[in-house]
Amino acid sequence: MLIKIPSASGCNESDVTPESIYLSRRSLLGASVAGLAVSAMPSWVQAAESSQYAGVETGNAPAWLKGKLQSTQWQAVTVKDEAITPFKDATHYNNFYEFGTDKGDPAQNAGSLQTEPWSVVIDGEVGKPGRYALEDFMKPYQLEERIYRLRCVEAWSMVIPWLGFPISDLLKQVEPTSKAKYIRFETLQDPKTMPGQRSGFALIDWPYVEGLRLDEAMNPLAIMAVGMYGRELPNQNGAPLRLVVPWKYGFKSVKSIVRISLVSEQPKTTWQSIAANEYGFYANVNPTVDHPRWTQAHERRLPSGLFSPNIRQTEMFNGYGEQVSALYTGMDLRKNY
């Protein structure tokens, strides 16, 4: 699909109020994959620490992840004719309110997050509940590199190469019961290492919670990610385990997950609880449904300058409509936003 890039006058920086500025005023908030390519492991990843991406900072991957990198299916999913966002932009322009409300706060403050040891609780309507050390939790899964578009509800976007596995593989392992209709995801709550949780920022009732309908989670595009740019996730990007759902706005992709619950009722999610008229449960990328304070018809692809913004038209379902539109057959997407 061709993407037409409108002139800079089509959307200005001033059109979008950064969420951090809006929240800092403490006002009460009112709420196709373009191409697929499967390839064998290329030469640049013969060593687990190697990367084809320029400017990638050396990480410190745990032993279990280094082992899995050797058998990773690289470039399992790609986007056609779109540049990968530079590593520095992807890791220094983030929303992760547990570490602060400014875009640079997560990179500055997330070093305090302790990701080893890490455990994940699986509970609810499943045949195999339990608390699993992350290295045990990850044992059944082969990693794939998925290069996806990321579209923020604030109208900026990136293209990021994630490392992860389909959520459907997880569901096969935990055996949902017939009562399971939704999945609820929960982020770590630890004020000692997450300064945003002790800052008096009272609009968020920690921990951060997100959710998917079960059939959404079963879609092949939905993944659990443990890495990006050929290495482990940086703390500010949701280490060591996060959700990635590329056809939805970025706030759905919950970070630093510690609990995954299969439930029968639609879970009460964080942003929907704060402002249901702005942030719906589905949060599908939809250029025809504007945010109350800005248009969603256009997006600013990073990197982008203040005086020469990289503006492009937003695609329905972030360009993944061919793969996901059937999930919403018969639904009014203006009401189920």
pLDDT of residue 7 exceeding 50: no
Q: Which of 1-10, 193-202, 240-249 has the lowest mean pLDDT?
A: 1-10
pLDDT of residue 61 exceeding 60: yes
* Percent of the chain that is helix, strand, coil (3-state, to 5): 25, 25, 50
d(CA 274, CA 270): 6
- What CATH number belongs to 8-328? 3.90.420.10
Count of Cβ atoms closer than 10 Å to residue 23 Cβ: 16
Please report which confidence band the pLDDT of residue 201 belongs to, taking 50, 70 and 90 as the band edges: low
Helix ranges (DSSP H) in 162-244: 167-174, 214-218
Backbone angles phi, psi at 300, to 5 degrees: -105, 110
pTM above 0.75, yes or no: yes
Average pLDDT, the chain: 87
Across the range 263-282, mean pLDDT stands at 96
pLDDT of residue 256 exceeding 80: yes
pLDDT of residue 309 exceeding 60: yes
d(CA 112, CA 279): 29
**Which of 13, 31, 35 has its CA nearest to residue 156?**
13
Domain ranges of the chain: 8-328
C-alpha torsion angle, residues 47, 53, 57, 60 (rounded to 10): -30
- DSSP symbol at 248: B
Across the range 317-323, mean pLDDT stands at 98
